Amino acid sequence: FWLASVLTGCVDYVSTQGLVLGVYESEREDDSLHLTESAAGVDRVLSGKLTELLKISGPGLKKGKSRIFYGLHEDFPCIAVVGLGRNSLGVCGTEYWDTCKENIRAAIAGGCRVLQNHVLTHIEVDGCNDSQSAAEGAVLGLFTYDDLKTKKKTRVTTQLHGSGCVSGWEKGVLYGEGQNLARYLMEAPANHVTPSVFADTITNRLAPYADHVTVHKRSQEWIEEQQMGAFLSVSKGSEEPPVFLELHYNGCPDNAQCPLLLVGKGITFDSGGISLKPPSGMDAMRADMGGAATVCSAIVTAAALNLPINIIGLAPLCENMPSGKANKPGDVVTAKNGKTIQVDNTDAEGRLILADALCYAHSFNPRAIVNAATLTGAMDVALGSAATGVFTNSDWLWEQLHKASVVTGDRVWRMPLFQHYTRQVTDCQLADLNNVGKYSRSGGACTAAAFLREFVTAPHWAHLDIAGVMTNKDEVR
């Protein structure tokens, strides 16, 4: 009766706790499984019943797959066992990530989602010998944006099961929550996250760290005083006033080190302006401030982690809308550094607001400048959702970004900054620069990066085009 009840799921329970455990595939070509330390501990408590059920419930549990067992443990009415792949895998020279970490994130995320669908409110999670990756997977996997729905998903709390690394778990939770903040801002409708609301949201999230974070919510008057003509030209088409958000995180207040400068594109809705986008898929343009969302969320996370580094974040925020005041194809505007720009495509607006922000960034004598932007559809065409395209003038900065990407699983791929592309934006009929390349769609991501380079004098600068990874497509697990 016990075995039948477990296999059919016909066990009555009132507890709302669940448990996610991991198993590794055999290093040999067979279906044998190897339990993680936490899973083996649970199996001992159950006198080997977990191992027995895994053997009789089907073939070996492959990477990313899961099985649910009911009524097996008196404290956990539902136990999800997830496949972690092989334990021997590490950094893959062809995939450019740590395969073991990525397998843990994906498996734990899947297991937590399965248990959430069982209306459980608390889940304990196997650290899988890498508590940080497990925590990241749990927090990311349970994210949902349903603020505006009457029926909401079950809210689930998580904690580390067993005796894993608690500090690693806590760090992973903060990493995951930081990413979820960016996802929240990008998912929310544009009428709920205007430039001002975006700035207020970040300000509120940084309030607990006021002792080492300073926030400046700059007004349109300030933007005008700074002579940010390119930024203002985009914002004037909308009734929503622009905001220039400036964040200073001082993790080393006694250290006079030059700060890391982060700049994020903050178009809270992109209609394309006069060069109007097709209606199909335009709703996704509420997330066109993904660069600003990731930059600001990174600073929130740095503050929560109390990282020993000084960071300045800049986020020019506005909408790109069509109106009688909006940019028209052929208009010429003047950027903060005095360069004139012929606006031949009003849907190439992100580079205009970034141009002024990059000019302003140099006033802080930064150690390095990194800007992030959902900048070009051409990047999505080139790399899809597999990796962020990185354009940089610094081999040192590229190495830092690449090393970080291998550990986090957020892969990057270096793209060219040839003079070939620069000539395509400087060969302009009416102004110093054109906001689109001479040959229109050809190498669009590269000509956009070449345009931005015209506003950079810092020796260590990187432009991250995150347009391809802006949405979580179905091939991303």
H or E stretch at 102: helix 99-116
Mean pLDDT, consecutive 10-residue stretches, the chain (477 aa), reads: 44 71 82 87 95 88 91 93 90 90 96 94 96 97 95 94 93 97 97 98 98 97 98 97 98 82 98 94 96 98 96 98 96 98 97 98 96 96 95 98 96 97 96 92 94 98 96 64
CA-to-CA dists, residue 18 to 73, 118, 137, 164, angstroms: 10, 9, 16, 18
| DSSP label at residue 267 | E
What pLDDT, on the 0 to 100 scale, is given for residue 2? 39
Task: Considering the candidates 217, 277, 367, 438, report the single residue annotated as catalytic.
Answer: 277
Closest CA to 133 of 65, 84, 67, 75: 84
What pLDDT, on the 0 to 100 scale, is given for residue 222? 98
Task: Considering the candidates 171, 183, 351, 453, report the single residue annotated as catalytic.
Answer: 351
What pLDDT, on the 0 to 100 scale, is given for residue 5? 45
What pLDDT, on the 0 to 100 scale, is given for residue 12? 45
Q: What is the spatial distance between Cα 67 and Cα 73, in angstroms, rounded to a whole number? A: 15
Q: What is the spatial distance between Cα 316 and Cα 223, in angstroms, rounded to a whole number? A: 9
Catalytic annotation on 411? Answer: no
Catalytic annotation on 277? Answer: yes
What pLDDT, on the 0 to 100 scale, is given for residue 62? 87
Closest CA to 460 of 387, 410, 401: 401
What pLDDT, on the 0 to 100 scale, is given for residue 30? 65
